[in-house]
Amino acid sequence: MDAILLQILNGLDKGSAYALIALGLTLIFGTLGVVNFAHGALFMIGAFCAVTLQRLLNLSYEVVDETQTDFLGNPLKVKTPYVEAWFGPEFGGAIIDWAVPLAILFAIPIMIGVGYVMERGLIKHFYKRPHADQILVTFGLAIVLQEVVKYFYGANPIQTPAPDALNGVVNLGAAIGMDIVYPVWRVVYFFFAVVIIGGIFSFLQFTTFGMVVRAGMADRETVGLLGINIDRRFTIMFGIAAAVAGLAGVMYTPINSPNYHMGMDFLVLSFVVVVVGGMGSLPGAVLAGFLLGILESFASMNEIKSLIPGIDQIIIYLVAIIILLTRPRGLMGRKGVMED
Amino acid sequence: MSKFDVSRRGVLRTGAMAGAGVALPTIFTASSAAAFTNEPTGSSVTLGFNVPQTGPYADEGADELRAYELAVEHLNGGGDGGMMNTFSSKALQGNGILGKKVEYVTGDTQTKSDAARASAKSMIEKDGAVMITGGSSSGVAIAVQGLCQEAGVIFMAGLTHSNDTTGKDKKANGFRHFFNGYMSAAALAPVLKNLYGTDRVAYHLTADYTWGWTQEESIAAATEALGWQTVNKVRTPLAATDFSSYIAPVLNSGADVLVLNHYGGNMVNSLTNAVQFGLRDKVVNGKNFEIVVPLYSRLMAKGAGENVKGIHGSTNWHWTLQDEGSKAFVKSFGTKYGFPPSQAAHTCYVQTLLYADAVERAGSFNPCAVVEALEGYEFDGLGNGPTLYRAEDHQCFKDVLVVRGKENPTSEFDLLEVVEVTPRAQVEYAPDHPMFAGGNLGACNPGA
C-alpha cells in the first residue's frame, strides 16, 4: 500500500511538470494557433535563470592566503562572495541558500521578455504558414537556444540545490499511521504547480483581459471586428506561457540538476500530454499531465515491469494511442481544432 | 620487309605487361611499410582525435581534446614534456614520431555510434589519419574499434569501461588503457566488505545498455561472492531523467545498499534522487542504508554536488595521486589550462604517448608493427604504477583506485578522495573469463 501511495505521489509530481509545460503549449496553440516546439527550451531557460542567479549571488572576490596552496602548489586564492561581504556571512549565506526560490522573481520578467522577443521576432512571421513550417522553425529555434546555453554553461549538469530548510524528507503518512516518506521539495513543487495552474485559470476566468483572450480563442475574427486588438493580447499570452514554462524550470532545478538538454527531455512528453488532453483544451492539458505522470510512475513498479517488460518506456505512448483511437480529439478536445 | 600488325587486344596486353614491369621494382624496393593504410610519406604524421564535442559528454570530450593537444605539444618538443619525462620508455625524444612532426585532426562523436563511425571514417579517408583515438562511451568505442579494424588503422580507446570493449568485441587493432567493469567490482568488493560487512542486501539500478549490463554483472558477482544478497536488478532507460519512480520501490524492498550502475547525467540524477528520498538517512535491517557508485567521474560528480559526500566508487586515475608521473601531468595540464585534468584527459594523454612510443620502438607506423610493440608491453611512470598491455585482449592491467566523495572539499576540484589503491594483482582475470568470453581478437589488419 505504501508503495502504491508513493507512486501516486511520484506521478503527481511528474505530472506537475508535464501539466505546467503542456498548459503553456496549449495557451500558445489556443491563442496564436502555433505549434511551438521551442516550448521545452523555455522550460530549460527558466532552469538556467536559477543557475544564473545562483552564480550571480556567488560572485566573489579573491584574497591570496599564503598559508594554503592550490593544486599546483601556488598560494591559494580564497573566494568570498560579495553578498556575504555586504550582508554578513549569516544573512548573505541565507540569500545564497535561497537562490532557487528567489530565482522565481528573477525569472518572471526575463521569461516574459524572452517570450515577447520570440513571438515578435520570429514566430509571428509564421502565423499563416502551415503547421509543418511552424514545427520546423520552432524546433530549429529550440536547438539554437540549447546550443547557446551549452556554449555558456557547458554540457554537464549543474547542481542547483534547494534551500537547506526545504531539503530532506517529510512523512506524509504520519497522520494516518503509515510510513510515506517523501522529499520536501517535491511536495513544494506539486503545490507550486497547483498554485500556478489555479492562477492561470483564475486569470482567464475572472479578469476582463482573460475574458477577451477566451473570446479571441473562440472566435478571433469577431473579437477583432469589435475593435479589440486581440493580437497584442495574444502576444502577452505568449509571454505568460513562456513565464509558466520558465517557472516550472526554475522550481525543477533542485529535483534534477539542470543541463542544456532538459527541455528536449520534456518536450515530446509534453506534446503527447497536449494531444491526449485535447488540442487547445487547458483543463485537458492539466488532466492529461497528471494522468500520464501517474501512469508512468506505476509502470516503473517492479511488479508491473515483471508482467510486461519495458512497459515503463512505452506506457505514455501506448495510452496516447488508445485514447486517440477511442477519443480522436483527446480527453477534452474541442471540435474543429486542427481539423481543417 | 617485315610485317607489323597492330591490334587493340595486342596493345592492351603489351601495355599491361609494360605496366607490371615498371611497377615490379617499386613493389620490391619500397619499404615494408608501403602496404598499410595512410602511410605517412611527408615530414608529418596525422593522428585523429575522435571525441564528443557536442552532446551530453561534450565537457568530457573537451577535456580529452585538451589532453590530446598537450600530448601533441609534448611529442613535438614543446612545453615541459609532461609525462614523457617520467615514462619508463625513453624512446620518445620530443622530435615528433619517427622524426615526423605530429599533426592532428578532430572529429565529433556526438556520443552516437553512427556519428562516431562517420567522423572516424572521414579522418581516415580524407585526412589520412594513421591512428584514431578518443571517445567517452563504450557503445561508441566498440563501434569505432570495429571500423578501425576494417580500415587497417590503430584505435587507442579513450574512456570506455564496458567489459565488452576488450571482451566479446575486442579487436586486434584496438587497445584500451582505461579499466573496466570487472576491475571496478574487484577493487570495490574488499573495501565494501570492510566498510559494510558481509551481510548486506543490494538493490541495483542499471543503465540499460552495454556498459550498464556488464557493470551490473561484475559488481553483483563480486558482492555476492562476499555473501551479499541481490534483491533486485532494475534496468532504467538511458534517456531517463527523473529516477523517483525507480527509487521509491527501493524503500520497501528490504535492501540496505543501493548500487547505481549509472554514468554521466544518469548518475547525477539517480544519486540526487536517491539522496532526496532520504535513503542515506535510513536504517534498514539494523544497518545504515548505503549507496555505491561503481564508476565515478569527477566531472560528473560536480553535477551531483554535496550528494556525493561519503559515497564510494572507483576511478581509473585521480589528479591528487602523488607519483611522479601524475604530478608531472597535473603540472603540465594545470599550468596550460588552469585546472586539474580529469581521468578522461589522463587516459587520452597516456594513450597518445603509448602509441607514439610503440611506433618509435617498432620503427614503423605499420599497424601490425605497432600491435606487436604494444602486445605484452610493460611500462611505468604514466600515473598508474607498473602497467601491462596484455597481448591476449589488449587490455591494460594496473592498480585501480577506490574513491569516496569528500566530506569537506577545499576547492571545486577537490570532490573525491582516494581511499585505497587496489593492487593490479587483485583486479586481474584470465583472458577466457566468462564475463569476457565470446570474442575473437583476430589478426591485425594493416589495411591498404
More confident residue, B292 or B111: B292
User: 67-96 in A: which are within 8 Å (CB) of B?
Assistant: 68, 70-72
Same domain, B145 and B199: no
For B43-73, how does the pLDDT look when each residue is reduced to its tens digit (9 = 90+)? 999 999 999 987 778 888 999 999 999 999 9
B235: left (phi over 0), alpha (psi -120 to 50) or beta: beta
Residues B422 and B325 in one domain: no
Residue entry with cell 532520504: B278
Residue of B59, B242, B332, B417 to mutate when probing chain A, most A C-beta within 10 A? B242
Angle formed at CA A202 by CA A135 and CA A27, multiple of 5 degrees: 5
User: Does residue B264 form part of some domain?
Assistant: yes
Interface of B with A in 57-86 (CB under 8 A): 57-59
Mean pLDDT of B127-140: 93
Residues B285 and B187 in one domain: yes
Q: Which pLDDT tens digit goes with each residue over B139-198? A: 999 999 999 999 999 999 999 999 999 999 999 999 999 999 999 999 999 999 999 999
Of A7, A150, A257, the CB nearest to B248: A7
Q: Is the pLDDT of residue B102 over 50?
A: yes
Query: B369, B393, B417: which is the final residue of a domain?
Result: B393
> Is B440 a member of any domain?
no
> For chain B, percent helix, then strand, then coil, each to nearest 5?
45, 20, 35
Determine the Cα–Cα distance for residues B292 and B311; give it in Å rounded to an integer: 6
| Domain spanning A2-326, CATH class | mainly alpha
pLDDT in the model for residue B24: 41
Q: Which residue has the cell 551530453?
A: B56
* Whole-number pLDDT of residue B7: 53
List all residues 6 or more positions away from A109 whose beta carbon is below 8 Å from its beta carbon: none
Classify residue B7: in a domain, yes or no: no
User: How would you classify the pairing of strands A75-81 and A60-69?
Assistant: antiparallel
Q: What is the mean pLDDT of chain B?
A: 90
What's the CA gap between B384 and B421, in Å, rounded? 10
Looking at chain B, the whole-number percentage of residues with pLDDT higher than 90 is 77
- C-alpha cell belonging to residue B284: 534498514
In chain B, how many domains are there? 2
Strand bridging mode B44-51 / B283-284: unpaired
pLDDT confidence of residue A281: 86
If asked whether residues B245 and B302 sit together in one domain, one would say yes
**Domain range enclosing B175:** 15-179+321-393
Which residues in chain A touch residue B334, judged by CB atoms under 8 angstroms apart?
71-72
Are residues B211 and B307 both part of a single domain?
Answer: yes
- Residue B380, C-beta contacts closer than 8 angstroms, at least 6 positions apart: B87, B88, B325, B386, B387
Helix (H, G, I), strand (E, B) or coil at B234: strand
Cβ-proximal residues to A282 (8 Å cutoff; 6+ apart), any chain:
A23, A26, A27, A30, A200, A201, A204
| Per-residue pLDDT, A336 | 61
Over residues A30-39, mean pLDDT: 85
Residue B372 Cα, gap to closest chain A Cα (Å) = 38
pLDDT for the residue A139: 92
What burial class does residue A125 get, using C-beta atoms within 10 Å of its C-beta: 0-12 exposed, 13-18 middle, 19+ buried? Answer: exposed
Q: How confident is the model at residue A340 (pLDDT cuts 50, 70, 90)?
A: low
Task: For residue B99, report the phi and psi dihedrals to the nearest 5 degrees.
Answer: 80, 0
- Cα–Cα distance for residue pair B441/B299, rounded to 1 Å: 33
Mean pLDDT of B343-351: 97
Q: Which amino acid belongs to residue B395?
A: Q
* CB atoms closer than 10 angstroms to residue B152: 21
Same domain, B234 and B207: yes
Q: What's the rounded Cα separation, in Å, for the pair B182 and B211?
A: 11
Residue B202 above 70 pLDDT? yes
CB < 8 Å to B241, chain A: 256, 262, 265
Coil, helix or strand at residue B36: coil
Q: Grid coordinates representing B145?
A: 574499434
Q: Per-residue pLDDT averaged across A319-328, rounded?
A: 90
- A157/B305 Cβ within 8 A: no
For the segment B412-424, the average pLDDT, to the nearest whole number, is 93
The pLDDT of residue A128 is above 70: yes
Q: Give domain status of residue B443, yes or no.
A: no
Angstrom distance (rounded) from CA B286 to CA B88: 51
Residue among A5, A338, A51 at smallest CA distance from A171: A5
Cα nearest neighbour of A68 on chain B: B410
Residue that the C-alpha cell 569537506 belongs to: B408
| Cβ–Cβ < 8 Å for B113, B121 | no
Q: Are residues B411 and B264 located together in one domain of the fold?
A: yes
Domain boundary assignment for chain A: 2-326
What cell was used for B50? 575522435
Same structural domain, B70 and B108: yes
Q: Give A306's pLDDT tier (boundaries 50, 70, 90).
A: confident
Does position A264 have pLDDT exceeding 70, yes or no? yes
| Other CB atoms within 10 Å distance of the CB of residue B386 | 13
| B167 secondary structure, DSSP code | T
Strand, helix or coil for residue B131: strand
Cell triple for A133: 513550417
B220-257: per-residue pLDDT in tens?
999 999 999 999 999 988 878 889 889 988 988 999 99
SS3 B291: strand
Helix (H) or strand (E) run with residue B183 in it: helix B181-196
Q: Give the integer Cα–Cα distance in Å for A169 and A173.
A: 12
The whole-number average pLDDT for the span B427-444 is 94
The ipTM value here is 0.85
B120/B84 same-domain check = yes
Question: Distance between CA B396 and CA B260 in Å, rounded?
Answer: 25
- The rounded percent of chain B whose pLDDT value lies above 70 is 92
Say if residue B151 is in the same domain as residue B225: no
- Residue in B121, B95, B119, B99 with CA at minimum distance from that of residue B109: B119
**Which of helix, strand or coil describes residue B286?**
coil
- DSSP line for B339-388: SPPPHHHHHHHHHHHHHHHHHHHHTS--HHHHHHHHTTEEE--SSSSSEE
Q: Return the pLDDT at A337.
A: 57
A75-81/B396-397 β-pairing: unpaired
Pure H helices in B42-132: 58-75, 113-125
User: Residue B13: what pLDDT?
Assistant: 54
pLDDT band at B9 (very low <50, low <70, confident <90, very high): low
Partners of residue A183 on adjacent β-strands = A169
Read off the DSSP letter of residue B251: H
Q: Which of A46-50, A176-180, B221-225, B274-278 has the lowest mean pLDDT?
A: A176-180
Convert the pLDDT of each residue in A210-248 to its tens digit: 999 888 888 888 888 998 888 888 889 999 999 999 999
Kindly state the cell numbers that stand for B263. Answer: 554514468
Residue A127 has pLDDT above 60, yes or no: yes
In chain B, residues 173-202 whose CB comes closer than 8 Å to chain A = none
Mean pLDDT of chain A: 90
Q: Tell me if B102 sits within 8 A of B94, measured CB to CB.
A: no
Distances (CA, A) of A71 to A77, B320, B382, B401, B418: 11, 8, 19, 19, 15
Residue A330 pLDDT level (bands cut at 50, 70, 90) = confident
Q: Check whether A81 has a pLDDT greater than 60.
A: yes
Which 3-state string (H, E, C) describes chain A?
CHHHHHHHHHHHHHHHHHHHHHHHHHHHHHHHCCCCCCHHHHHHHHHHHHHHHHHHHCCEEEEEEEEEECCCCCEEEEEEEHHHHHHHHHHHHHHHHCHHHHHHHHHHHHHHHHHHHHHHHCHHHHCCCCHHHHHHHHHHHHHHHHHHHHHHHCCCCCCCCCCHHHCCEEECCHHHCCCCEEEHHHHHHHHHHHHHHHHHHHHHHHCHHHHHHHHHHHCHHHHHHCCCCHHHHHHHHHHHHHHHHHHHHHHHCCCCCCCCCHHHHHHHHHHHHHHHHCCCCHHHHHHHHHHHHHHHHHHCCHHHHHHCCCHHHHHHHHHHHHHHHHCCCCCCCCCCCCCC
CATH of residue B138's domain is 3.40.50.2300
Q: Is B299 on the interface with A (CB under 8 A)?
A: yes
B229 with B148, same domain? no
Over range A94-115, report the average pLDDT.
Answer: 96
Residue among A2, A256, A296 whose CB faces B252 most closely: A2
Q: pLDDT by residue (tens digit) across A12-31?
A: 998 999 999 999 988 888 88
What's the farthest any 2 CA atoms get from each other in chain A? 76
| Spatial distance between the Cα atoms of B45 and B262, rounded to a whole number of angstroms | 38
- The pLDDT value recorded for residue B38 is 95
Read off the pTM.
Answer: 0.85
Per CB-CB distance under 8 Å, the chain B contacts of A257 are: 268-269, 272, 303-305
Same domain, B386 and B418: no
Distance of CA B105 to the CA centre of its chain: 19
Cβ-count burial B311-325 (b if 16+ within 10 Å, e if not): bbbbbbbbbbbebeb
Distance CA B157, CA B174 (A): 7
For residue A286, the distance in angstroms to the closest alpha carbon of chain B comes to: 20
Q: Does A39 touch chain B (CB under 8 A)?
A: no
Residue B3: pLDDT over 80 = no
Whether B6 maps to a domain, the answer reads no
Distances A95 to A91, A101, A106, B22, B317 between C-alpha atoms, Å: 6, 10, 13, 83, 37
pLDDT at B29: 36
Provide the pLDDT confidence category of residue B4 given band limits of 50, 70 and 90.
very low
